[in-house]
A and B are shown apart, each in its own frame.
Chain A
Amino acid sequence: MTEQSNTVQAELIIEPGRTEKNYWNDLWRFRELFIILSWKDIKVRYKQTVIGAAWGVIRPLLTMVIFTFVFGRLGNLDKGSTIPYPILVFAGLLPWQFFASALSDSSNSLVTNTNLITKVYFPRLIIPASSIIVSLVDLGISFLLLVVVMFIFKFVPPIQILLLPLFTIMAFLISFGAGLYITALNVKYRDFRYVVPFIVQLGIYVTPVGYSSAIIAQKYSEKIRFWFSLNPMVGVIDGFRWCITGEPIYMPGFLLSSVVILLFLWLGITYFRSTEKSFADNI
């Protein structure tokens, strides 16, 4: 009771089209819901699975092995680098798999939580945000796996590995921005649930996961490499590689990717906010 009686009761006015001043306050007030929903997703994720969290290890490990074989051996992309190819692949795989699962989870999040949306009020932004947290946990598990791989190859990462959280935030922001936009669209147009698997499937080829983005400049030109960075994940992966393998960042491309990320974030949040109030009508 004490907490409630201390707070001065503000008047709440509900009107059509009223942009609530207290939206961001509300978001803060509901932070515990965010925590608990994230915790629920994590908890539920591995219930009724035989090997549980081992999936977090098996998936990236197998992908790494296959990529090393397909891109490295068959595609001959492993030449001319002092860095062990599996580590190069892994450094790209880490953010990519995070992005892939975060994007698919967040873009489906509103529709899968229909029962909440039609029955209780809270800032809806919490739903897609909390759905990404699971992927973050998976990223952590994959990262531990990377450490093991580095041990096996006796590879010592450069000091900038400490900046990895920064690029993780970047990866979070792009998944969040794009996820918000798609999940809001998904409420009205269910087609978008088919779009995401498509993006993820094709995206892996136009994103330097199995190869270094420096190859683009070598094979084509600097200019192509710059426009290649319109894909926001190029910047993120370059950042991860810089941290893990020390491969230099191509600055103009990185900045372009960052701008695209911010653009998506802005687009995602504005679209989400403007449609948020009609979710319960349309879902």
Chain B
Amino acid sequence: MPLPVIKAENLSKNFVIAHEAPERYQSLRDVIAKKAGNLLGQGKKKSTTKEEFFALKDVSFDIHAGDRVGIIGRNGAGKSTLLKLLSRIMEPSSGRITMRGRVASLLEVGTGFHPELTGRENIFLNGAILGMSRNEIRRKFDEIVDFAEVEKFLDTPVKRYSSGMYVRLAFAVAAHLEPEILIVDEVLAVGDAQFQKKCLGKMEDVSKNEGRTVLFVSHNMGVIAQLCQKAILLKQGQVVSYDSAFNVINSYIAMDQAGTNVYLPSDDTARRKENFFTRIASENEKGEGATDYSFDDGIVLDFRFSLKVRTSNLQIGIGINDKLQNRIFTVLKPIDFFRQNGSNEYVGKVKLPARIIAPNIYSFACAIWTREGHVYDYVDNVCPVKIHDNGTNLALYEGIDYGSVIVDAEWFS
């Protein structure tokens, strides 16, 4: 097996947080004041509690040439710190990284852009900052301008650019880097969807067709799933799993389930209502409490209700609402279907089909009512769940309203 292009061995980075000084930088005056205070014996009372905080702890992994690796994890899991160590902006506290190849890192779009300079000037400035030579920039200049679609405004100071133009220009420069190893932080979160798509296409091109190694951080699981073959999952500074992107995304979704996604009625419900829900909870297909699902998972709703008035025209209705409380669809079941458990409580489960509801955040509305429309109990906004994109063909448009269901249409031509 060839040598890995990036080899991280027992990488750690710790910061010392002094609880007394919340500011990042110190002032000499404070230092002197503190020293003087200590001298007079006052320091002991205050006792500066220093806490060591590991942003990364014992991280080891190998990345081989041509790999496209996504790095995922919740906020504060150490993703950015890892990228900063890899791009030499910060020095590790211990451990070692060995890299083979020209590295370019893109932790921000438009680093060093100066608002007073024109588009043309900023291309050269930003290119140089990202490590391109002047000849290289000159060679690719037209391509960059073309990609950014800013020909007309090349000699306008970028402070007059719209934010979209600004981002396009900035990304265009970065997209034309030609490193062997490309490190990209969440930079695609900006810009309009069409341009994002173009950028991702370009990155895909770079990695797939030109065999470059790409390290990519994103919160958008769908993009990771589409772009990367492998992924590293970080949790509290440690590598939890390093596997195929698909598996890692699923373990990320399963990680840290809230488990408290349960609706219970208020205490006086029994007095006020004759028929009512006594418990509603969202579960995965294995019957475990869940709040996060992938597009491939079925959502199971487990519910119990108690009936004082039982008529044969009663039915249970379950609806799923989107963030704006628009109903996506409703399912109904007659009451006769349900069985009673020991304590005069009826139990039921409903499984919503996988691969239909589009990745987004949803909640449920549940009702006990008669076919004629007499409502005994109605609760909404219960059991909020999140469906994560794990690589649908609409993943790029996360955050954009492309509808609430994804269907496989048949196309003809």
Q: Name A residues whose Cβ lies closer than 8 Å to a Cβ of B.
A: 1, 3-4, 9, 11-17, 30, 32-33, 36-37, 40, 43-44, 47-48, 115-122, 187-192, 277-278, 280-283
Contacts and interface: CB of A to CB of B under 8 A. Distances in A.
21 contacts: A3-B133, A12-B103, A14-B91, A14-B92, A14-B96, A15-B92, A15-B96, A16-B93, A16-B95, A36-B134, A37-B125, A40-B117, A43-B116, A44-B116, A115-B108, A115-B111, A120-B129, A121-B105, A122-B129, A190-B25, A277-B91
B89 A117 contact: yes
B353 interface: no
A40 B98 contact: no
Nearest to B88: A121
A184 to B, nearest CB: 13
Interface in B57-89: 84-89
A110 to B, nearest CB: 11
A13, A14, A190 — most chain B CB neighbours (10 Å) = A14
B36 interface: no
B154 interface: no
B121 interface: yes
Given A48-B116, A117-B89, 14 more contacts: A3-B136, A4-B178, A9-B180, A14-B97, A15-B96, A43-B116, A44-B114, A115-B111, A118-B89, A119-B107, A121-B105, A189-B25, A191-B27, A281-B15
Contact of B26 (A17, A115, A122, A189): A189
Contact of B107 (A37, A120, A277): A120
Given A32-B128, A117-B89, A14 B99 contact: yes
Contacts of A191: 27-29
Interface string B111-137: 110101100010011001111011110
B31 interface: yes
Contacts, number: 120
Contacts of A282: 24-25
Nearest to A13: B98
B27 A13 contact: no
Contacts of A280: 84, 89-90
Contacts of A277: 90-91
Contacts of B130: 120
Interface of B: 15, 24-29, 31, 84-103, 105, 107-108, 111-112, 114, 116-117, 121, 124-125, 128-131, 133-136, 178, 180
A140 to B, nearest CB: 22
B343 to A, nearest CB: 60
A122 B135 CA distance: 19
7 A-B pairs with least C-beta separation = A121-B88, A14-B97, A189-B28, A277-B91, A191-B28, A36-B128, A47-B116
A12 B181 CA distance: 12
Nearest to B92: A16
Contact of A13 (B28, B97, B107): B97
Nearest to A3: B133
Contact of A36 (B15, B24, B124): B124
A1, A121, A187 — most chain B CB neighbours (10 Å) = A121
A281 B114 contact: no
B111 A119 contact: yes
B92 A122 contact: no
A37 B357 CA distance: 51
Contacts of A117: 89
Given A11-B98, A13-B97, A32 B134 contact: yes
Contact of B125 (A3, A40, A118, A192): A40
Contact of B99 (A1, A12, A17): A12
B88 A14 contact: yes
B96 A11 contact: no
A47 to B, nearest CB: 4
B89 A120 contact: yes
Contacts of B85: 14
Nearest to A48: B116
Contact of A11 (B99, B117, B121, B131): B99
B25 A122 contact: no
Given A1-B178, A187-B25, A189-B27, A120 B87 contact: yes
Contacts of A190: 25, 27
A33 B130 CA distance: 9
Contacts of B135: 3
Contacts of B97: 13-15
A36 B26 contact: no
A16 B91 contact: yes
A17, A36, A116, A118 — most chain B CB neighbours (10 Å) = A36
A121 B91 CA distance: 11
A78 B91 CA distance: 57
Contacts of A120: 87, 89, 105, 107, 111-112, 129-131
